Structure 1
Amino acid sequence: VKRAAECAIASQRRKQENVRLDKRDNSGLTWPKDVRVFAVRRFTFKNAMKIENLKECPVCPTTIDRRHFVKTAALGSAALAAAPLGKAAKKKTNSETLVAQLFGSLNESQKKVVAFPFEHPLREKVDNNWHITKKSIGEIFTGEQQALVQEIFLKLHSEQYAETVLGQVRHDSEEEGFESTSVALFGQPNTGKFEFVLTGRHCTRRCDGDSV
């Protein structure tokens, strides 16, 4: 231990006694002259690595006691932790998805047309101009249900392009409008096997019904 301390002291003596912060930090910004901190590293036999600051930064706040620091840090941590928890709680209260809302709004006659078992082969069919069910949403759904279907469709696209894609669907429908599309629901909500499919001219959209 004695030998190690002597080596540390000898090594330090070869270095400049006053350790200064350079005028420039790693970011390349220039520090004001009066903000630079000067420190002298004093080495003793008992503690060869002890550092004592002889001059503190003139613009820095005075030292706070440990108890105050711990209390303040704890309060800050609690505040940060509370924020995501609050968001999670809010998300939980609104956990019912739009597709689940649509499914829950269907009456029995509507379910006979648009609701199918999850393993139904129709769920995997793809075509460029087709209707997955025999009736369009304009024929079978109420105005509120049609608005919900349109909202689901918009949510499947980024906000930047959603309205543009919707306009293209309307254009391809040859003036029949978005109401000419058809919808099918496969499976049951909140089971992990629940899918929404919307079809029309040059249009097929599929999504996990529990996530939209």
Structure 2
Amino acid sequence: MLLPNGRNANRREFLSQTGKLALGAGLAATLPNVRLLGAEAKQKESTPESLTKVLYESLSPKQREAVCFDWDHEDGRGLLRTHVSANWDITEQYLASDFYTDDQREIVRHILEGIIQPEWHERIYKQLKDDSGGFGKQNSIAIFGEPGSDKCELVLTGRHMTLRADGNTTPHVAFGGPIFYGHAAQGFDEKPDHPGNVFWPQAKAANKLYQMLDGEQQEAALVRNPKMPAEDDVYFEGTGEKAAKELQGIPIAQLASDQKEHMQKVLKKLIEPYRQSDQDEVVACLDKFGGLDACHLAFYEEDDLGKDRVWDNWRLEGPAFVWHFRGAPHVHCWVNVADNPEVELNAG
């Protein structure tokens, strides 16, 4: 694992730091998944939520005043806990600033790594380096509710990043609420094949499905007019015949069996960066409203980079599920998944 300074760190180093914090605050007994084994200190399945508690207990009163809020805290952006944007600071203090200690930055780094699958860590650090100079340089956090209670969520934001750790304490939604990810690997305007973009393989998988469609299906899936929705328009259409008519593209239910099988692979590709519990929650939310068969898949002719008919912009949408992939001029992805289409969104 890479530290912010680029040095490799092992789990023993990290536990040495977080263990000192926990013990110093009298918290050793509250972290059953983290054990100190004499000189051979190891980390045992600590979760982003347990580490959020360690972080919270390490914060000074001044720090808590700046980054810790009530569960339903609102500001000029509305209900702050549920806000999502492409490039924003949930609080004013960047992780790389001297507002935080080195130990605290390490804890947040491991919270991030706990949310993301290990095989994706290197790719996420590449995204952070390309977009903002590295982990913490333009990232900020906020903690809502009290760690260890039935309502607590840590939100990590920055350029091309909104991630959440809630331990499934936020009802009805996957990921703890709407999330955002993106990448500008080669500058603001990427080339048609998006060299180096860590998320472009998701679009390649979706475009492979488009190539599997016959002529009539491709015509149904490709949206020429009206144009694609605004990228942050990931509000739910809900259920019913009228709502279904509002969904653009081709109904997944109309696909052939081999096409549906590949659509499952596309979904797997979309959720693979995230920890298993979040993946499972996405699938559970989706299944509650008919699974992929209740969704539509749309490809947009608008902003086809290079005019190569490899569609940069596409959208998978169901009654309480929206995954909007905008690939031009670089990748932006807006995600909103719930088990109830009446869940409100706070995006912008």
Alpha-carbon distance in structure 1 between the residues aligned to 2:135 and 2:119: 21
How far apart, in 1, do the equivalents of 2:156 and 2:129 lie?
14
Q: Secondary structure at the match of 1:103?
A: helix
Corresponding residue for 1:158?
117
Q: Label 1:210 to 1:105 Cα distance change in 2 as closer, same or farther (>3 A).
A: farther
1:92 aligned partner, one-letter code? P
1:138 paired to 2:61: no
Q: Provide the C-alpha distance between the structure 1 equivalents of 2:134 and 2:163, rounded to a whole number of angstroms.
A: 18
Unaligned runs of 5+ residues in structure 1 are 1-90
Match of 1:187 in 2: 145
CA-based RMSD: 2.3
Q: Render the CA deviation track for 1:88-119: whole Å, top value 9, x for unaligned.
A: xxx83637811110011000110011000011
1:160 partner SS: helix
CA drift at 1:176: 5.7
Alignment of 1:75-90 (within 5 A): none
Structure 2 counterpart of 1:99, from 38, 49, 52: 52
TM-score between both structures, scaled by the size of structure 1:
0.52
> Runs in 1 of length 4+ with deviation above 3 angstroms?
91-96, 209-212
Aligned mates of 2:72, 2:137 — CA distance in 1: 27
Q: 2:80 aligns with which of 122, 125, 129?
A: 122
Aligned-partner SS, 1:151: helix
Counterpart contact for 2:128–2:134, Cα < 8 Å: no
Instruction: In structure 2, give the amino acid aligned to 1:186.
Output: F
Q: Which residue of 2 aligns with 1:81?
A: none
Distance 1:155 1:99 in 2: 11
Q: Which runs of 5+ in 2 are unaligned?
A: 1-30, 35-45, 74-78, 170-274, 276-348
Question: Counterpart of 2:154 in 1: which secondary structure?
Answer: strand
Shift of 1:162: 1.7
Contact 2:143 2:153 in 1 (8 A): yes
The size of the alignment, in residue pairs, is 121
CA spacing shift, 1:210–1:149, aligned 2, 3 Å: farther
Matched residue of 1:204: which SS?
A: strand
The structure carrying a bigger strand percent of its residues is 2
Report the AA paired with residue 156 of structure 1: I
Distance 2:54 2:147 in 1: 9
Deviations 1:169-210 (A, max 9, x none): 22111x264332000000001111000000000101011168
Mapped partners of 1:179, 1:209: distance in 2: 26
Partner secondary structure for residue 144 of structure 2: strand
**2:130 paired residue number:** 171
State percent identity of aligned pairs.
Answer: 35
Provide closer, same or farther for how the CA distance between residues 210 and 169 of structure 1 changes in structure 2, counting only shifts above 3 A.
same
**Structure number, greater radius of gyration:** 1
1:64-85 CA distances to partner (integer Å, 9 max, x unpaired)? xxxxxxxxxxxxxxxxxxxxxx
Q: Distance in 2 between matches of 1:200 and 1:101?
A: 22
